[in-house]
């Protein structure tokens, strides 16, 4: 038994042994040119969408992320933090949306420049490079073979996952950091240096700040699985591995609190709060999607017609024709096999969904119970395959030690990935310019909304594509009742759903123009209510459910639904109100009322709105289930309504405190290491 352990140890040592690194050695030459090779390969794949006048971003990148970041950029250049936007969903807590990535540091240069469609492609290129370099360094750490590590970087950072999800910006941004997270964990396990643990926590914070909760959750699950592989390799480090696997995400969550705290509030009050993963049946891994590892056009993605599952972006995994053959060869290497199995097997088992059972268990866990489409975890399995292929690369190039072979394998990988994951792949980018795809629609919307009275809104069906990007109201700065975001407020969604049964509810949203999709015409609504108004009669409701049920029969010209907690009110049906000032999350309203009365404001209700009359604070509550209301005192005066995020300040303090603590630790470690390096060795004691 001891002999077998010794033999296995010798095998791993031989596998990881680096070639001689003398002057002019192959290792030196690879290290010198490696960064340029990675940059060249990534530019090769992104060159056309980055430079062509007939290419652009598409789908979610164009519909949601680019309009959102462009709006944020414009607001920041105007000196405002847009905590609230009036332009989508009749008012929305804009900065609380985690997918906006407002606090993600790698977005800041693009926000400064103003994120156009081409700059969005540059964001994708930046994160492809980040993924390539991270996977390269991780494989270099594990296998001590630079060409093999380069192959790993290419097959992960330019893989089908990144091509297929090029329109899902927060997803690929978070996935790009995964190799760095595992690399720093590995280094912390090896040298027990606090510095590497802190750096891993900073990476964890970046993953959360990128804005895609599901991908961040999968990254931290991958960290736990990678820790398990470390424990299986050396059980003496069990407590260290467990401690790091728990502490790194925890510190990362604190570093990202400025985005996470408001984001959690928004998510808890959105339609996503009602999602139960255990009841979902879409987005499961399919056998056909695994076939795309060898045959990229298995589902007809490239040549069409597409014949796969509904969401075309979820089921394309191709990462080069060499990936699987090399990964099979890599199965002979125990260290690579252990890590690959720990990463890939649980992920694939979970992604397979309810038929194989693990999903039924995991979907009941905190965090996992509120996400859908487990196939999105593929990037973890993809990294495992890339590491296994790197191990196979080492074995093949040692079995046939020809100088040209590593270069030939890498050249094939580059050409292959460019052809299938960029040139021929319609998932990677749109083959039309922004103007060709969206220009006519944006012009059409501008004409349709041109004659709208002030403080009124435009209504159109959800996800209506004829007006340009789905979040076109942000670009046009036209107030609308709709938008495109997975975190629509649940009360508001229930209100707009009730319009089908009670069309007069659009009056409460101040809709002056609406698109009748059946007739294909924009109609004028002369009955819209003013933005601020006094309803004639108050109807008290005991719960949100009761309020939702009463919407179908509500006549807003005569009545308003108010919470039962509002005491007796002698409502003045003849009260008048006029908006004197309005900007984003602020209203100044001048009113006259003979008695204390409920004032209804046609804006979406969300916690954080406050109302003041001079120094006096007024209560704010939901009216008509989803709108904003306040109880004003009798008389004639002005009131100010303002939106302030309830959790932003606390989140900012936590982020700053944690960032300062991490900075102090890194500075202390740097000073300590510098002192050790400068301290000369003690002279030998002559008396010894």
Predicted confidence (pLDDT) per residue in 158-183, tens digit: 999 999 999 999 999 999 999 999 99
| Residue-level pLDDT at 15 | 45
Confidence of residue 28 (pLDDT cuts 50, 70, 90): low
- Residue 652 CB partners (closer than 8 Å, separation 6+): 257, 258
Please indicate, yes or no, if residue 147 is contained in any of the structural domains.
yes
Please indicate, yes or no, if residue 432 is contained in any of the structural domains.
no
Q: Is the pLDDT of residue 536 over 80?
A: yes
Is-contact 527 453, C-beta < 8 A?
A: no
Neighbouring-strand partners of residue 639: 589
Q: Residues 228-254: what's their mean pLDDT?
A: 95
Please indicate, yes or no, if residue 478 is contained in any of the structural domains.
yes
Please indicate, yes or no, if residue 345 is contained in any of the structural domains.
yes
Q: Are 255 and 367 in a shared domain?
A: yes
Neighbouring-strand partners of residue 563: 541
Distance CA 601, CA 624 (A): 10
Is-contact 319 385, C-beta < 8 A?
A: yes
Query: What pTM was estimated for this model as a whole?
Result: 0.93
Distance CA 53, CA 225 (A): 44
Q: Tokens 């510098």 correspond to what residue?
A: 674
Q: Are 375 and 478 in a shared domain?
A: no
> Measured between alpha carbons, how far is residue 445 from residues 68, 194, 360, 472, 474 in Å?
18, 56, 45, 8, 12
| % of the chain with per-residue pLDDT over 70 | 93
Final residue before a domain boundary, out of 489, 524, 559: 524
Q: Residues 265-282: what's their mean pLDDT?
A: 92
Please indicate, yes or no, if residue 657 is contained in any of the structural domains.
no
Please tell me the least confidently modeled range out of 62-71, 565-574, 649-658, 664-673. Answer: 664-673
Q: Are 462 and 606 in a shared domain?
A: no
Cα dihedral 179, 183, 184, 188 sign: positive
Final residue before a domain boundary, out of 524, 547, 564: 524
Q: Nearest CA to 248 among 175, 178, 172?
A: 178
| Residue-level pLDDT at 517 | 87
Into how many domains does the chain fold? 3
Q: Are 83 and 200 in a shared domain?
A: yes
Q: Are 504 and 553 in a shared domain?
A: no
Q: Are 209 and 303 in a shared domain?
A: yes
Q: Are 263 and 300 in a shared domain?
A: yes
Please indicate, yes or no, if residue 660 is contained in any of the structural domains.
no
| % of the chain with per-residue pLDDT over 90 | 87
Return the SS3 of 447: helix
| Residue-level pLDDT at 12 | 44
Q: Are 486 and 383 in a shared domain?
A: no
Q: Are 203 and 246 in a shared domain?
A: yes
User: What's the mean pLDDT when you consider all of the chain?
Assistant: 92
Domain ranges, residue 585: 533-643
- Residue 471 CB partners (closer than 8 Å, separation 6+): 63, 64, 67, 68, 88, 483, 484, 485
For 399-418, the pLDDT digits (tens) are 999 989 999 999 999 999 99
> Measured between alpha carbons, how far is residue 521 from residues 315, 438, 459, 513, 516 in Å?
38, 19, 12, 10, 6
Final residue before a domain boundary, out of 477, 492, 524: 524
Q: Are 399 and 457 in a shared domain?
A: no
β-bridge pairing 586-593 and 576-583: antiparallel
Compute the residue count for the chain. Answer: 688
Please indicate, yes or no, if residue 152 is contained in any of the structural domains.
yes
Q: Are 253 and 177 in a shared domain?
A: yes
| Residue-level pLDDT at 681 | 54
* CA 362 to chain centroid: 21
Q: Are 470 and 604 in a shared domain?
A: no
- Residue 656 CB partners (closer than 8 Å, separation 6+): none
Please indicate, yes or no, if residue 429 is contained in any of the structural domains.
no
Is-contact 126 363, C-beta < 8 A?
A: no
Question: Which DSSP letter does residue 19 get?
Answer: P
Q: Nearest CA to 379 among 298, 317, 290?
A: 317
Distance CA 165, CA 178 (A): 16
Q: Is the pLDDT of residue 7 over 60?
A: no
Question: Which DSSP letter does residue 589 get?
Answer: E
Q: Nearest CA to 584 among 115, 88, 171, 114?
A: 88
Read off φ and ψ for residue 542, nearest 5 degrees.
-85, -15
Neighbouring-strand partners of residue 56: 430
Q: Is the pLDDT of residue 340 over 80?
A: yes
Distance CA 675, CA 287 (A): 57
Q: Is the pLDDT of residue 4 over 60?
A: no
Is-contact 250 202, C-beta < 8 A?
A: no
């Amino acid at each position: 038994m001891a002999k077998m352990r010794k033999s296995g140890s010798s095998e791993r040592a031989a596998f990881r042994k680096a070639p001689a690194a003398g002057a002019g050695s192959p290792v030196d030459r690879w290290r010198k040119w490696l960064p340029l090779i990675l940059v060249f390969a990534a530019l090769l794949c992104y060159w056309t969408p980055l430079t062509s006048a007939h290419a652009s971003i598409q789908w979610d990148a164009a519909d949601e992320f680019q309009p959102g970041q462009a709006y944020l950029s414009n607001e920041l250049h105007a000196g405002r933090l847009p905590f609230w936007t009036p332009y989508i969903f009749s008012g929305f807590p804009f900065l609380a949306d985690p997918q906006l990535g407002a606090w993600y540091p790698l977005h800041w240069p693009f926000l400064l420049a103003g994120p156009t469609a081409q700059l969005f492609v540059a964001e994708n290129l930046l994160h492809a490079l980040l993924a390539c370099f991270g996977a390269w360094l991780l494989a270099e750490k594990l296998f001590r073979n630079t060409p093999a590590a380069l192959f790993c970087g290419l097959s992960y950072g330019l893989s089908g996952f990144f091509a297929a999800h090029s329109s899902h910006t927060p997803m690929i941004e978070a996935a790009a950091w995964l190799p760095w997270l595992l690399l720093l964990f590995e280094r912390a396990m090896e040298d027990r240096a606090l510095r590497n643990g802190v750096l891993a926590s900073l990476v964890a914070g970046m993953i959360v700040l990128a804005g895609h909760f599901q991908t961040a959750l999968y990254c931290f699950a991958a960290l736990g699985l990678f820790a398990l592989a470390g424990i299986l390799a050396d059980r003496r480090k069990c407590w260290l591995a467990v401690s790091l696997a728990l502490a790194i995400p925890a510190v990362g969550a604190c570093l990202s609190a400025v985005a996470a705290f408001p984001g959690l509030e928004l998510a808890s009050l959105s339609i996503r709060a009602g999602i139960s993963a255990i009841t979902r049946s879409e987005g499961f891994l399919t056998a056909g999607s695994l076939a795309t590892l060898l045959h990229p056009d298995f589902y007809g993605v490239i040549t069409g017609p597409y014949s796969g599952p509904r969401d075309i972006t979820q089921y394309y995994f191709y990462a080069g024709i060499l990936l699987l053959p090399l990964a099979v060869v890599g199965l002979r290497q125990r260290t690579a096999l252990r890590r690959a199995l720990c990463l890939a097997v649980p992920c694939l088992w979970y992604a397979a969904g309810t038929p194989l059972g693990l999903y039924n268990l995991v979907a009941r866990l905190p965090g996992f119970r509120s996400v859908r489409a487990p196939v999105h975890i593929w990037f973890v399995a993809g990294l495992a395959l890339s590491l296994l292929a790197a191990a196979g690369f080492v074995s093949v190039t040692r079995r046939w030690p020809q100088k040209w072979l590593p270069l030939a394998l890498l050249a094939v990988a580059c050409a292959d990935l460019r052809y299938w994951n960029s040139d021929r792949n319609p998932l990677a980018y749109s083959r039309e310019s922004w103007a060709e795809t969206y220009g006519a629609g944006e012009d059409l919307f501008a004409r349709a909304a041109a004659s709208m009275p002030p403080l009124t809104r435009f209504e159109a069906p959800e996800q209506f594509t004829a007006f340009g990007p789905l979040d076109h109201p942000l670009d046009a700065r036209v107030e609308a009742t709709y938008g495109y975001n997975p975190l629509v407020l649940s009360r508001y969604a229930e209100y707009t759903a009730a319009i089908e049964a009670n069309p007069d509810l659009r009056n409460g949203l101040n809709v002056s123009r609406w698109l009748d999709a059946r007739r294909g015409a924009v109609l004028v609504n002369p009955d819209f209510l003013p933005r601020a108004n006094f309803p004639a009669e108050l109807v008290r409701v005991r719960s949100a459910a009761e309020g939702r049920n009463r919407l179908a029969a509500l006549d807003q010209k005569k009545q308003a639904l108010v919470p039962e907690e509002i005491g007796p009110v002698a409502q003045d049906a003849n009260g008048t109100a006029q908006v004197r000032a309005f900007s984003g999350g602020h209203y100044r309203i001048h009113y006259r009322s003979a008695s204390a009365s409920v004032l209804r404001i046609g804006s979406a209700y969300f916690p954080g709105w406050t109302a003041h009359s001079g120094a006096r604070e007024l209560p704010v509550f939901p009216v008509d289930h989803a709108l904003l209301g306040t109880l004003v005192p009798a008389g004639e005066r002005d009131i100010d309504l303002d939106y302030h995020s309830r959790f932003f300040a606390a989140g900012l303090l936590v982020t700053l405190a944690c960032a300062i603590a991490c900075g102090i630790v890194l500075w202390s470690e740097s000073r300590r290491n510098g002192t050790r390096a400068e301290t000369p060795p003690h002279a030998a004691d002559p008396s010894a």
